[in-house]
Structure 1
Amino acid sequence: MKALSQNRRHPMVGVALLLLGLLLTGGLYSLASNINSASAYSQADYTSADNISDGETLFNANCASCHGIGATGGPAGPSLVGVGAASVDFQVGTGRMPLQMTGPQGQEKQNQFNEEQTMQMAAYVHSLGAGPSIPEDEYLDADHADVNLARGGELFRVNCAMCHSASAGGGALTRGKYAPTLHGVEEEHIYEAMVTGPQNMPVFSDSNLTPEDKRDVIAYLKEFETQGYPGGASLGSLGPVAEGLFVWTGGLALLIGFMVWMTTRSS
């Protein structure tokens, strides 16, 4: 113990700790760089023979039981020929596929595949037929110099708010279906949902909404997220009717409780 105490006060201890800190910082930076570079895939990745082959192996092991060998469809799942890489990246990247259970629509959950595996399956499906591809980073940049937030808000209210609500908090549809919340959804997945039309959502092709229009909508949603709820609790962002009902019900409950308390006190 005495020797350890003496060594801890050695002049070289400070230098050793500094070197250790630099090595640790460099290692963490390298790891973060590798993660970022792994998530940025180019069109070449989706046409790589190796990625297509690996994606086919993953598809056959995890998806073919429903969608059939060659993704031509089956009794439990539709054909995926021609859906494009964007559809696979959205469905698998958000955890909707593989399905957790049968129901009116696939539910978002923790994704079962990492980004590289998702890319490989998307590359395989992409090779089967032409379809929407992964959006370019230019159209996912909410801080782009050409972004028009006012235009994005107008487009959202005209095309999306009737299902997702004006607050983008989601809403109920018919027969147990629903439009999910758009808060916290990645820019890439919002864009992919617009071009692929998953489940009950219509397809917004470039003839309906240009890539620049889609970028404006994404920028509006991200700006909306930063505003928070300055008035207090969001109460589900269902609007003044729901909020008024909550206040009225809460006030009535307090009044009844006070009357009950008064009667017990008088007796």
Structure 2
Amino acid sequence: MNALAARRRHPAAIAILIMLGLFLMGAAYAAVAPKPADATTKALSAQTVEEGKAIFRANCASCHGLNAEGRQTGNGDKVAGPALAGVGAAAVDFQMGTGRMPMAAPGVQAPRQDEIKFSDEQIEAVGAYVASLAPGPEVPSEEAVDPTKGDPARGGELFRVNCAMCHNFAGAGGALTRGKYAPALTDVSGKHIYEAMATGPQNMPVFNDANVKPEDKRDIIAFLDSINEAESPGGLTLGSLGPVTEGLFAWVFGLGILIGCAVWLGAKSA
């Protein structure tokens, strides 16, 4: 018994216990500590930001300023291009990905263009540069904009509450004040719809995650996708603009048919 106690009090035992404790502590820390970013990834990100900065200065700085600080027109009462710090990569992807930017000419609103002037890689690079200026909305993931994972019925309710007053109940668009308009949402990708809600382009308000949650945005995308794919059981949609176009159609064609019948009957009786 005394020999066993002597071995326990041996100086080497204390050193071994300390080393064992340090080893276990280091292993536990390595398991739970955040992994450092890979050097190659950091280098690629920095390179992407620099490429985006070069593209920005060559194509966007004339309106938005050399460092995206914004710029006013010569008379100083109008903004040529707003400051971009804080708009995030999502705003860049929406504006450039839909051909709205760069604008061909100044106007009250940037229209959507079918011809995109930049590749996806160039748009991503400019988005990385703008995102490096200040935190902002990020480009959504594919899962976040997948309409098959959303609820079209619930999305329809959310759309009618938040969007229909400008974009029309069927997403056909509508007129606003002073030459502005809410664009039609037909054949618009789910990613761009999500980005528009998150960033509030043109005259649109911002629907951040506090107002419309990410899953709600996906439901709205699912609703708009269902409208694009649905057929019209009533025949001609007439632009889905409601009673205005329907009444115009009835007046023009209905009165036209009645006038034609009156002329035919008058000619026959003569």
Q: Which residue of 2 aligns with 1:97?
A: 101
Q: How does 1:43-122 map to 2 (within 5 A)?
A: 48-75=45-72, 76-109=80-113, 110-122=115-127
Are 2:214 and 1:173 equivalent residues in the alignment? no
Q: How does 1:158-197 map to 2 (within 5 A)?
A: 158-197=161-200
In the alignment, the residues of structure 2 paired with residue 224 and residue 254 of structure 1 have an alpha-carbon distance, to the nearest angstrom, of 33
Q: How does 1:122-161 map to 2 (within 5 A)?
A: 122-144=127-149, 147-161=150-164
AA partner of residue 226 (structure 1)? E
In the alignment, the residues of structure 2 paired with residue 265 and residue 118 of structure 1 have an alpha-carbon distance, to the nearest angstrom, of 68
In the alignment, the residues of structure 2 paired with residue 117 and residue 171 of structure 1 have an alpha-carbon distance, to the nearest angstrom, of 32
In the alignment, the residues of structure 2 paired with residue 173 and residue 205 of structure 1 have an alpha-carbon distance, to the nearest angstrom, of 23
Q: Is the 8 A contact 1:84 1:129 kept in 2?
A: yes
In the alignment, the residues of structure 1 paired with residue 237 and residue 130 of structure 2 have an alpha-carbon distance, to the nearest angstrom, of 41
Percent of residue pairs bearing the same amino acid type: 57
In the alignment, the residues of structure 2 paired with residue 198 and residue 189 of structure 1 have an alpha-carbon distance, to the nearest angstrom, of 11
Segment drifting more, 95-104 vs 64-73: 95-104
Q: How much has 1:240 moved relative to structure 2?
A: 3.5
AA partner of residue 45 (structure 2)? S
TM-score (norm 1): 0.79
Provide the secondary structure at the position in 2 that maps to 1:208: coil
CA 1:248–1:113 in structure 2 vs 1: closer, same or farther (change >3 Å)?
Answer: same
In the alignment, the residues of structure 1 paired with residue 146 and residue 180 of structure 2 have an alpha-carbon distance, to the nearest angstrom, of 31
Q: Deviations over 1:75-123 (max 9, x none)?
A: 2211111110000000000000111222221000022111111111111
Provide the secondary structure at the position in 1 that maps to 2:48: helix
Q: Which residue of 2 aligns with 1:12?
A: none
In the alignment, the residues of structure 1 paired with residue 183 and residue 227 of structure 2 have an alpha-carbon distance, to the nearest angstrom, of 16
Larger gyration radius, structure 1 or structure 2: 2
Provide the secondary structure at the position in 2 that maps to 1:107: coil
Q: How much has 1:243 moved relative to structure 2?
A: 1.1
Are 2:248 and 1:245 equivalent residues in the alignment? yes
Are 2:254 and 1:257 equivalent residues in the alignment? no
AA partner of residue 244 (structure 1)? G
Provide the secondary structure at the position in 2 that maps to 1:70: coil
Q: Is the 8 A contact 1:171 1:178 kept in 2?
A: yes
Q: Which residue of 1 aligns with 2:21?
A: none
Segment drifting more, 88-97 vs 220-229: 220-229
In the alignment, the residues of structure 1 paired with residue 47 and residue 155 of structure 2 have an alpha-carbon distance, to the nearest angstrom, of 39
In the alignment, the residues of structure 1 paired with residue 81 and residue 154 of structure 2 have an alpha-carbon distance, to the nearest angstrom, of 38
In the alignment, the residues of structure 2 paired with residue 241 and residue 99 of structure 1 have an alpha-carbon distance, to the nearest angstrom, of 32
Provide the secondary structure at the position in 1 that maps to 2:71: coil
Q: How much has 1:264 moved relative to structure 2?
A: 4.2
Provide the secondary structure at the position in 1 that maps to 2:148: coil
Match 1:219 to one of 215, 219, 222: 222
CA 1:261–1:154 in structure 2 vs 1: closer, same or farther (change >3 Å)?
Answer: same
Count of aligned residue pairs for this structure pair: 222
In the alignment, the residues of structure 2 paired with residue 228 and residue 118 of structure 1 have an alpha-carbon distance, to the nearest angstrom, of 35
TM-score (norm 2): 0.78
Q: Is the 8 A contact 1:100 1:107 kept in 2?
A: no
Q: Which residue of 2 aligns with 1:4?
A: none
Please, which runs of 5 or more residues in structure 1 have no aligned partner?
1-43
